[in-house]
Structure 1
Amino acid sequence: MIDNIYLLIFYSVLAIFILVTFFLVLYIKNQNMVWQQRKLFQETEIQQQKQLLSAVIDSQEIERKRIGEDLHDEVGGTLSAIKLMLNAAMRQYSQSDQDVILPAKQLIDKMIVDVRNIAHDLSPPGLAMFGLYTSIEGFVSLINKADEIEIVLSNELETEEKLLSEKAELALFRVITQLIANTLKHAKATKIDIHFKQNQNRLEITYQDNGQGFDIAVLNEKKGIGMQNIISRIQMINATYTIATSVNNGFKITINCIVE
Structure 2
Amino acid sequence: MEKELLQEDSQIIVIILIAIMVLLLMAVSLVLFFFFSRKKIIAAELEKANLELSHQKDLLHSTIETQEEERKRIAQDLHDAISAKLNVVSLSTNVLIDGKLNKEEQERTLQNILSVTTKTLESSRRLAHNLLPPILENFGLSAAIEELCDEFISSKKVNIEYAIEYNNLLPKRKELHIFRIIQELLNNSVRHGRAENVILKINDTNEHLEIEYVDNGKGFDITSVNKNKGIGLKNIESRVEILDGKLSYHSEVGNGATFNISAKKPQP
User: Which residue does the alignment assign to 1:89?
Assistant: none
Structure 2: distance between partners of 1:102 and 1:180: 36
User: Which residue does the alignment assign to 2:128?
Assistant: 119
Amino acid at match of 1:190: E
Q: CA RMSD in A?
A: 4.1
Whichever of the two has the greater Rg, that structure is 2
Structure 2: distance between partners of 1:220 and 1:133: 31
User: Could you tell me the percent identity over the aligned residues?
Assistant: 25
Contact 1:205 1:254 in 2 (8 A): yes
User: Which residue does the alignment assign to 1:208?
Assistant: 214
User: Which residue does the alignment assign to 2:253?
Assistant: 247
Q: 1:248 to 1:47 in 2, by over 3 A?
A: closer
Q: Secondary structure at the match of 1:171?
A: helix
User: Which residue does the alignment assign to 2:264?
Assistant: 258
- Residue 193 (str. 1) matches residue 199 (str. 2): yes
- Residue 180 (str. 1) matches residue 186 (str. 2): yes
Q: Structure 1: which 5+ residue stretches go unaligned?
A: 86-92
Structure 2: distance between partners of 1:145 and 1:207: 19
User: Which residue does the alignment assign to 1:139?
Assistant: 148
Structure 1: distance between partners of 2:59 and 2:251: 27
Contact 2:245 2:261 in 1 (8 A): yes
Structure 2: distance between partners of 1:219 and 1:165: 32
Q: Secondary structure at the match of 2:29?
A: helix
Q: Secondary structure at the match of 1:204?
A: strand
Structure 1: distance between partners of 2:58 and 2:225: 22
Identify which range, 4-13 or 129-138, moves more after superposition: 4-13
- Could you give the per-residue CA deviations for residues 112-153 of structure 1, whole angstroms, max 9, x where no partner exists? 323321221122112122111211222222222221111222
Contact 2:62 2:235 in 1 (8 A): no
> Given the alignment, which residue of 167, 171, 175 partners 2:173?
167
Q: Secondary structure at the match of 1:214?
A: coil
Q: Secondary structure at the match of 1:234?
A: helix
Q: Secondary structure at the match of 1:126?
A: helix
User: Which residue does the alignment assign to 2:225?
Assistant: 219
- Residue 22 (str. 1) matches residue 28 (str. 2): no
Tell me how far 1:108 sits from its aligned partner.
4.0
Q: 1:22 to 1:218 in 2, by over 3 A?
A: same
What TM-score comes out, normalization by structure 1 length? 0.73
Aligned length: 242
What TM-score comes out, normalization by structure 2 length? 0.71
